[in-house]
């Protein structure tokens, strides 16, 4: 029990980071993490101790986030004004990505691509763990990552570069 | 040498490429500048994402997100719902047969008596430790004490005489109480020559007005509780058990004189 809670506790910073990147709102993100922890702790009996706690927590967090999006689509979304980046001038250097630009670009991604890319690029999870969290085959994960990276490239104004040939 | 795929290039960027494939990927990048530019862009995307959001993972974790704290909170919530379930069991038990309340507290299920006893023991612990402020109205003003507390509890209340047991009245006070027992409670304090103190915690009757008796040991104090159609009463002290029983019986005898099955007389 204490072991379980200690394991959960070590995951909290990563959960907060991931939730912040998903929601772009400090309070919403921490609410999401709190809901996730409450659910995980009250349902710990359902947790198979053989699997990693971290993957289980991320799965719960994502399910809660998707549910909250579904209900907030009816209410209209709220965005913390502080998290909206200042408009920036387009990148002058080819290949350069302004952070503000990236912050806006990540918002334009479809949710399934955003979830996948953040698990890999931000959280540094292995492909197999991310696929487990998302409940998809690894091939599907890879194609989401590919589409997310291509979309970000366009959204950050780097589409002028020659497009990568599809290589088999 | 296998063909370099998009997945291998991503694995290269994500640091998840098999070591065996690394030379092939690096050779491919060296030979294809446009592919190398794309891969560099992916790396910059990842760097930008980390620069944007990684700091959120290094912030101090707020208390509400501490797993141990959440576990403690959900534990007590579970306990509360367990108590409701237990209360339902008690009601069923009452329906099936009387005598349930005669069961000892620690063995039986939580009931209204449990919270009354807990309140009584808490009040005892707080006020027996006081010297100058042990009571609100001293025994020297006994008539006022009796009238006041009787009015506040909307039930006639007399102060038992425990001189035969070696105790004299110190005084009494009014306390907030359980909502289902009138919301107020009176505490009477007695003291013997050895400065041992005993308190008597009285409330108006519970809604069910059912007779009940319990002995309980809570927080190092002995408590004797009973309820009838007029009042609930809990005698609390830290005396040896035999002495507690003698005192409790004296209080019980004096406070149940008359017809206790009837409700309180009408008070204008």
Task: Give A81-97 pLDDT, tens digit per residue.
Answer: 555 554 444 444 555 66
The dihedral through the CA atoms of A146, A151, A154, A159 has a sign that is positive
Q: Which of A96, A98, A100, A118 is nearest to A109 (CA)?
A: A118
What is the total count of domains within chain B? 2
Looking at the structure, tell me whether residues B37 and B105 fall in a common domain: no
CA nearest B42 in A: which residue? A149
Contact B45 A149 (CB under 8 A): yes
Closest residue to B10, CB basis, from A1, A103, A146: A146
- A147 by Cβ neighbours in 10 Å (0-12 / 13-18 / 19+) ranks as middle
Q: How far is CA B77 from CA A50, A61, B26, in A?
A: 28, 22, 57
CA nearest B49 in A: which residue? A122
Q: Tens-of-pLDDT digits for all 268 residues of chain B? A: 458 999 999 999 999 999 999 999 999 999 999 999 999 999 999 999 999 999 988 888 888 999 888 888 776 555 556 666 676 766 666 666 554 454 444 444 446 788 888 888 888 888 888 888 889 889 888 888 888 888 888 888 888 999 999 999 999 999 888 888 888 899 999 999 988 999 999 998 888 888 888 888 776 788 888 888 888 999 999 888 888 888 988 998 888 776 555 555 443 3
Instruction: Please report whether residue B74 resides in a domain.
Output: no
Return d(Cα B236, Cα B260) in angstroms, integer: 22
Return d(Cα B66, Cα A6) in angstroms, integer: 10
Looking at the structure, tell me whether residues B24 and B113 fall in a common domain: no
Which three-class secondary structure string do you get for A44-95?
A: HHHCCCCCCHHHHHHHHHHHHHHHHHHHHHHHCCCCCHHHCCCCCCCCCCCC
Looking at the structure, tell me whether residues B32 and B107 fall in a common domain: no
Instruction: Please report whether residue B260 resides in a domain.
Output: no
Contact B16 A6 (CB under 8 A): no
Looking at the structure, tell me whether residues B175 and B44 fall in a common domain: no
Contact A17 B56 (CB under 8 A): yes
Q: Which of A122, A127, A158 to mutate to test the interface with B (most CBs of B within 10 A)?
A: A122
Residue window 49-108, chain A: list those with CB within 8 Å of chain B.
95-97, 99, 102-103, 106
The helix, strand and coil proportions of chain B, stated in percent and rounded to the nearest 5, come to 50, 20, 30
Residue A74 has pLDDT above 70, yes or no: no
Instruction: Please report whether residue B165 resides in a domain.
Output: yes
Looking at the structure, tell me whether residues B227 and B115 fall in a common domain: yes
Q: Which of B8, B43, B48 to mutate to test the interface with A (most CBs of A within 10 A)?
A: B48
Looking at the structure, tell me whether residues B36 and B115 fall in a common domain: no
Residue A73 has pLDDT above 80, yes or no: no
Instruction: Please report whether residue B95 resides in a domain.
Output: no
- Predicted ipTM beyond 0.85: no
**B209 within 8 A of B158, measured Cβ to Cβ:** no
CATH number at residue B148: 3.30.200.100
Return d(Cα A49, Cα A46) in angstroms, integer: 9
Domain that holds residue B47: 6-57
Looking at the structure, tell me whether residues B237 and B110 fall in a common domain: yes
Instruction: Please report whether residue B73 resides in a domain.
Output: no
| Partners of residue A36 in chain B, C-beta under 8 Å | none
Return d(Cα A15, Cα A58) in angstroms, integer: 7
Looking at the structure, tell me whether residues B108 and B46 fall in a common domain: no
Closest residue to B38, CB basis, from A8, A34, A164: A164
**B127 within 8 A of B187, measured Cβ to Cβ:** yes
> Can you list the alpha helix ranges (DSSP code H) found in B54-168?
67-96, 112-128, 142-153
Looking at the structure, tell me whether residues B38 and B104 fall in a common domain: no
DSSP per residue over B191-220, as a string? E-TT--EEEEEEEEPPTT---EEEEEEETT
Looking at the structure, tell me whether residues B50 and B105 fall in a common domain: no
CA nearest A142 in B: which residue? B7
Chain B contact present for A133, CB below 8 A: no
Instruction: Please report whether residue B146 resides in a domain.
Output: yes
Looking at the structure, tell me whether residues B251 and B120 fall in a common domain: yes
Looking at the structure, tell me whether residues B238 and B123 fall in a common domain: yes
Count CA atoms closer than 13 A to B98's CA, side-chain side.
4
Q: How far is B50 from chain A (nearest CA, A)?
A: 5
Residue A47 has pLDDT above 70, yes or no: no
| Partners of residue B34 in chain A, C-beta under 8 Å | 161-162, 164
Q: Which of B232, B202, B208, B263 is nearest to B113 (CA)?
A: B232
Instruction: Please report whether residue B91 resides in a domain.
Output: no
Q: Which of A55, A25, A53, A65 is nearest to A119 (CA)?
A: A55
Q: Which of B28, B50, B65, B69 to mutate to test the interface with A (most CBs of A within 10 A)?
A: B65
Q: Which of B119, B65, B134, B7 is nearest to A131 (CA)?
A: B7
- A164 by Cβ neighbours in 10 Å (0-12 / 13-18 / 19+) ranks as buried
Domains annotated on chain A, with CATH: 1-80 (1.10.1740), 90-157 (1.10.10.10)
pLDDT tens-digit readout, A94-146:
556 678 888 889 989 999 999 999 999 999 999 999 999 999 999 999 999 99
**Which tokens hold the place of A28?**
């919403």
């Amino acid at each position: 029990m204490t072991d379980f809670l200690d394991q959960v506790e070590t995951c909290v910073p990563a959960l907060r980071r991931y939730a912040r990147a998903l929601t772009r709102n400090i309070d919403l993100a921490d609410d999401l993490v709190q809901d996730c922890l409450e659910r995980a702790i009250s349902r710990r009996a359902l947790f198979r101790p053989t699997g990693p706690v971290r993957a289980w927590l991320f799965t719960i967090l994502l399910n809660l986030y998707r549910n909250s999006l579904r209900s907030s689509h009816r209410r209209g979304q709220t965005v913390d004004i502080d998290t909206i980046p200042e408009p920036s001038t387009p990148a002058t250097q080819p290949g350069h990505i302004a952070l503000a630009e990236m912050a806006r670009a990540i918002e334009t991604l479809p949710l399934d691509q955003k979830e996948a890319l953040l698990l890999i690029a931000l959280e540094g999870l292995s492909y197999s763990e991310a696929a487990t969290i998302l409940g998809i085959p690894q091939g599907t994960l890879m194609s989401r990552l590919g589409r997310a990276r291509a979309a970000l490239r366009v959204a950050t104004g780097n589409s002028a570069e020659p497009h990568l040939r599809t290589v088999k | 040498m296998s063909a370099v795929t998009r997945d291998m290039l991503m694995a290269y960027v994500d640091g998840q490429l098999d070591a065996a494939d690394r030379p092939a990927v690096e050779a491919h990048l060296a030979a294809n500048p446009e592919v190398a530019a794309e891969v560099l862009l992916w790396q910059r995307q990842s760097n930008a994402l980390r620069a944007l959001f990684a700091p959120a993972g290094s912030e101090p974790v707020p208390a509400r997100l501490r797993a141990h704290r959440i576990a403690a909170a959900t534990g007590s919530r579970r306990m509360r719902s367990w108590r409701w379930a237990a209360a339902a069991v008690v009601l069923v038990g009452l329906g099936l047969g009387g005598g349930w309340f005669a069961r000892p507290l620690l063995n039986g299920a939580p009931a209204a008596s449990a919270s009354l006893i807990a309140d009584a023991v808490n009040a005892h612990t707080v006020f027996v430790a006081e010297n100058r402020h042990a009571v609100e109205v001293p025994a020297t003003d006994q008539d006022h004490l009796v009238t006041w507390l009787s009015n506040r509890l909307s039930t006639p209340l007399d102060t038992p005489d425990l001189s035969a047991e070696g105790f004299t009245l110190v005084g009494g006070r009014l306390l907030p109480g359980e909502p289902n027992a009138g919301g107020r409670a009176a505490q009477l304090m007695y003291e013997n020559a050895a400065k041992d103190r005993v308190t008597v915690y009285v409330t108006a009757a519970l809604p069910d007005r059912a007779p009940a008796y319990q002995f309980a040991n809570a927080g190092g104090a002995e408590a004797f509780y009973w309820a009838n159609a007029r009042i609930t009463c809990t005698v609390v002290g830290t005396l040896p058990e035999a002495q507690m029983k003698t005192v409790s019986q004296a209080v019980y005898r004096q406070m149940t004189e008359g017809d206790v099955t009837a409700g309180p007389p009408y008070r204008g």
